[in-house]
């Protein structure tokens, strides 16, 4: 077996090859960085991809690196599992890759983005580049909006380690006396971006736009801030700490004695005290200064990541709206669905046939209309729904509250453990409970990740159930940038089994009655494995056999091993995996019949689609679940089949567009690296542009 290792993190276990999930994730974030490098991406969108890269890396250290650190404290040298290296090895490789990506990030920003902005007369200036009039404007803004929000910490004589807030940026200040009559003094100042913002746009001059960061405004005013110490020389460098963000439940508190809502609230408060996992610093900071801060902050077993002058690039998502129209993606207008637009109620259309929508190409507002009509429909009695990530301003929840006001029974499964959305979900939990909804929660350690809504309606003396199923969250904000499928239906093959699922979620009544739906952790993984086995069996019987699967991440070891077995039987397998992919394609005798591609573009590819040939009678499932162990075994998930022949055709043809993409698709190779798909036919194919055109021509 011959293949090249560019990293030790591809491991052979009992004849099966696996790429470490952490390294695969870093490769995914590298693909995000490529969109910032790509000159065909509109300029201001390139800046946003830098922000996405930075935000992703924050979460990686807050969650994944934090987990490895915990294992490291138990046994640093022992492999985490048979298919993973030891914590020391993984963390060393993470450090190497992250430093390399950080260097590349800085080069893109300084050598490409800033000069490109300058050509458009947009200048991100620092404190040393201001003229006298600009200094006056900045000084007035500093005194009015920043000074009273600054609370310096003097480090030199501190007896205890100061607590730095997770993901905030700080100016590390060194004060010296040019006459050397007194020892240097050192301080930390938190940059108050949450209250003052990150950017200040200076008055325009000669059609030039000037923007300065808040930390540079503070740099300009250090003498005023520390005037009582009578120093005359100041240097300041940005630093940032990242902490373990995993919610930790007190094991002494049993589920019977402490409600999960209380546990989550308590854990959120503890999150700010999580152990440090990363310390990012300005690489120009003198070593003696860095060493002093490392001692004062007690930075042990922490990844020290050198960076540029600016950190927390996630703030660049809110960069001032400057530039021209061509510097942004074109305004996206969802394709109207005339059949829904022309009907009296959405129920009338669903009564005739299922409706398949593809967001954001088609509007998410059709769901809001569905809920709004249900809220005031005298025939509707009950609405049941699962909520995972709820928008800050949620029309979904407001529709549910309106339904309660109109006398409907509303039952909600609110997942309080949706990472980093816990506080928003707690807020909406309180709003729903105050309105009179029945709000249920998942169990600690088992998230409810399925997306379903079930509406009960009295029609001609009997109860008819209408359902909405989705691959994405009930979130009106992310629905504008996440690509997902959604299905409206009243088909009993769905609704009867959704009733069984709702009994499990809301009443904790378990019935093994799922012939059509795949439910994790009950039957989803076993059914997927059986469907792969069926393709193997069909191929050996010389029947048609193939698998096409699209997901966010592929990590589950049993699924990967089964795909390798299918490969060896000759089954053609085409995988579209946006993020982590521990399967390694293109290895003779193991995965030569498997291709893996990742698509990174304007919209985040979020839909999970699973297609099995089934000897010509294709089975197609849409799902909220990735092929990850956490989804298949540790969460409550839902995958639903598509029965309508027309909808199966639509999904298959959209997926085929993704398999043809040669602009935004990257192909994974046997060494774990990704390369852009080649334009071998002499024609360009762009998944998202082609999908938009396809739906324009095929939407009723």
| pLDDT tens, position by position, 145-177 | 999 999 999 999 888 888 888 889 999 999 999
Confirm if 199 and 213 have CB atoms less than 8 A apart.
yes
pLDDT of res. 4: 35
Q: What is the mean pLDDT of residues 550-575?
A: 97
Q: Fold for domain 10-327?
A: polyphosphate kinase like (3.30.1840)
pLDDT of res. 253: 44
| Domain 338-507, architecture per CATH | 2-Layer Sandwich (3.30)
Strands 169-176 and 185-190: antiparallel
Say if residue 604 is exposed, middle or buried (CB neighbours under 10 Å; 0-12, 13-18, 19+): middle
Q: How many other CB atoms sit within 10 Å of the CB of residue 667?
A: 17
b/e burial code for range 228-264 (CB count within 10 A of at least 16 → b):
eeebeebbbbbbbbbbbbebebeeeeeeeeeebbebb
Catalytic residue from among 311, 449, 468, 606: 449
23-27, 294-298, 354-358: the lowest-pLDDT one? 294-298
Q: What is the mean pLDDT of residues 575-591?
A: 96
Residue 470 tokens read as: 């989705």
Nearest to residue 296, comparing CAs of 164, 391, 418? 164
| pLDDT tens, position by position, 405-452 | 999 999 999 988 867 667 788 888 999 999 999 999 877 778 999 999
Residue 75 tokens read as: 């046994």
pLDDT of res. 1: 31
3-class DSSP state of 428: helix
Q: How many other CB atoms sit within 10 Å of the CB of residue 56?
A: 17
More confident residue, 272 or 609: 609
DSSP state of 627: B
- pTM of the predicted model as reported, rounded to 2 decimal places: 0.92
Nearest to residue 388, comparing CAs of 489, 494, 471? 471
Cα dihedral sign, 298-304-305-306: positive
User: CB-based contacts of 191: which residues, under 8 Å, 6+ apart?
Assistant: 168, 169, 170, 171, 214, 215, 218, 238
C-alpha 470/C-alpha 362 separation (Å) is: 14
Q: Fold for domain 518-698?
A: Endonuclease; Chain A (3.30.870)
pLDDT tier, 256 (very low <50, low <70, confident <90, very high otherwise)? very low
3-state secondary structure string, 236-270? Answer: EEEEEEEECCCCCCCCCCCCCCCCHHHHHHHHHHH
pLDDT above 90 as % of the chain: 77
| pLDDT tens, position by position, 516-532 | 999 999 999 999 999 99
Say if residue 166 is exposed, middle or buried (CB neighbours under 10 Å; 0-12, 13-18, 19+): buried
| pLDDT tens, position by position, 604-647 | 999 999 999 999 999 999 999 999 999 999 999 999 999 999 99
3-class DSSP state of 656: helix
Nearest to residue 43, comparing CAs of 128, 134, 124? 124
Q: What is the mean pLDDT of residues 540-561?
A: 97
DSSP state of 512: -
pLDDT of 266 over the 70 cut: no
Answer yes or no: same fold for 10-327 and 338-507: no
* DSSP string of 454-497, one letter each residue: EEEEEETTEEEEEEEEESS-S-TTGGGTEEEEEEEE--HHHHHH
Stretch (H or E) spanning 306? strand 303-307
Nearest to residue 468, comparing CAs of 400, 561, 554? 400
C-alpha 559/C-alpha 518 separation (Å) is: 15
More confident residue, 441 or 598: 598
pLDDT of res. 251: 46
Q: Which residues pair with 170 in a beta bridge?
A: 190, 239
| pLDDT tens, position by position, 360-382 | 999 999 999 999 999 999 999 99
Stretch (H or E) spanning 623? strand 619-623
pLDDT tier, 265 (very low <50, low <70, confident <90, very high otherwise)? low
pLDDT of res. 481: 96
Cα dihedral sign, 262-267-270-271: negative
pLDDT of 128 over the 60 cut: yes
Q: What is the mean pLDDT of residues 651-658?
A: 98
Q: What is the mean pLDDT of residues 119-144?
A: 94
Domain ranges of the chain: 10-327, 338-507, 518-698
Residue 520 tokens read as: 């994790």
Residue 172 tokens read as: 């590390």
3-class DSSP state of 581: strand
Q: Is 449 annotated in the active site?
A: yes
pLDDT of 459 over the 50 cut: yes
pLDDT of res. 107: 94
């Amino acid at each position: 077996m011959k293949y090249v290792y560019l990293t030790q993190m591809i491991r052979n276990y009992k004849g099966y090859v696996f790429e470490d999930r952490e390294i695969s994730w870093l490769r995914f974030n590298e693909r995000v960085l490529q969109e910032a490098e790509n000159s065909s991406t509109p300029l201001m969108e390139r800046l946003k991809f830098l922000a996405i890269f930075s935000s992703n890396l924050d979460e990686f250290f807050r969650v994944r690196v934090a987990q490895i650190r915990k294992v490291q404290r138990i046994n640093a040298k022992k492999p985490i599992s048979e298919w993973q290296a030891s914590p020391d090895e993984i963390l060393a490789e993470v450090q190497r890759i992250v430093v390399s990506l950080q260097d590349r990030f800085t080069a893109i920003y300084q050598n490409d983005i800033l000069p490109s902005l300058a050509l458009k007369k947009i200048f991100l200036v620092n404190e040393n580049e201001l003229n006298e009039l600009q200094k006056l404007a900045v000084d007035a803004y500093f005194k009015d909006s920043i000074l009273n929000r600054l609370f310096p910490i003097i480090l030199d004589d501190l007896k205890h380690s100061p607590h730095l807030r997770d993901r905030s940026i700080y100016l590390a200040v060194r004060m010296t006396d040019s006459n050397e009559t007194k020892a240097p003094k050192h301080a930390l100042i938190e940059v108050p971006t949450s209250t003052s913002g990150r950017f200040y746009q200076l008055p325009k001059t000669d059609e030039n736009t000037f923007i300065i960061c808040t930390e540079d405004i503070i740099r300009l005013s250090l003498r005023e801030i520390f005037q009582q110490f009578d120093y005359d020389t100041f240097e300041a460098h940005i630093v940032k700490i990242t902490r373990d963000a995993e919610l930790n439940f007190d094991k002494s508190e049993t589920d019977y004695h402490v409600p999960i809502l209380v546990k989550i609230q308590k854990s959120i408060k503890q999150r700010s005290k999580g152990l440090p996992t990363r310390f990012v610093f300005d690489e120009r900071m003198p070593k003696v200064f860095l060493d002093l801060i490392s001692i004062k902050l007690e930075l042990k077993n922490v990844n020290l990541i050198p960076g540029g002058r600016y950190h927390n690039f996630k703030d660049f998502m809110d960069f001032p709206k400057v530039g021209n129209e061509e510097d942004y993606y074109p305004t996206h207008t969802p394709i109207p669905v005339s059949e829904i637009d022309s009907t009296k109620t959405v129920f009338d259309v669903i009564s005739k046939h299922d409706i398949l929508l593809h967001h954001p190409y088609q509007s998410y507002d059709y769901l809001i209309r569905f809920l709004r009509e249900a809220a005031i429909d005298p025939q509707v009695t009950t609405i049941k729904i699962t909520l995972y990530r709820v928008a800050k301003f949620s029309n979904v929840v407001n529709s549910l509250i309106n339904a309660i006001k109109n006398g409907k029974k509303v039952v909600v499964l609110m997942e309080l453990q949706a990472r980093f959305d816990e506080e928003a979900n707690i807020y909406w939990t309180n709003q729903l409970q105050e309105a009179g909804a029945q709000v249920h929660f998942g169990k600690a350690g088992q998230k409810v990740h399925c997306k379903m809504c079930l509406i009960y309606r009295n029609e001609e003396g009997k109860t008819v159930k209408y359902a909405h199923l989705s691959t994405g969250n009930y979130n009106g904000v992310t629905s504008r940038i996440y690509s997902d499928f959604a299905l409206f239906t009243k088909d009993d093959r769905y609704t009867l089994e959704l009733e069984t699922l709702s009994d499990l979620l809301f009443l904790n009544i378990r019935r093994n009655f799922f012939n059509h739906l795949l439910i994790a952790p009950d039957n989803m993984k076993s059914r997927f494995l059986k469907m792969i086995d069926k393709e193997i069996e069909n191929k050996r019987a010389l029947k048609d056999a193939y698998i096409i699967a699209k997901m966010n991440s592929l990590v589950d070891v049993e699924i990967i091993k089964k795909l390798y077995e299918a490969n060896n039987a000759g089954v053609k397998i085409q995988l579209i995996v946006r993020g982590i992919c521990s399967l390694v394609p293109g290895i003779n005798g193991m995965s030569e019949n498997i291709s893996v591609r990742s698509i990174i573009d304007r919209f985040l590819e979020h839909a999970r689609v699973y297609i099995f040939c089934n000897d010509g009678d294709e089975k197609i499932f849409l799902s909220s679940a990735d092929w990850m162990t956490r989804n298949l075994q540790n969460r409550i998930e839902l995958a639903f089949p598509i029965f309508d022949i027309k909808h199966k055709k639509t999904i298959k043809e959209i997926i085929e567009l993704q398999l043809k993409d040669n602009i935004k698709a990257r192909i994974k190779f046997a060494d774990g690296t990704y390369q852009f798909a080649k334009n071998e036919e002499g024609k360009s194919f762009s998944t998202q542009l082609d999908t938009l055109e396809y739906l324009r021509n095929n939407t009723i």
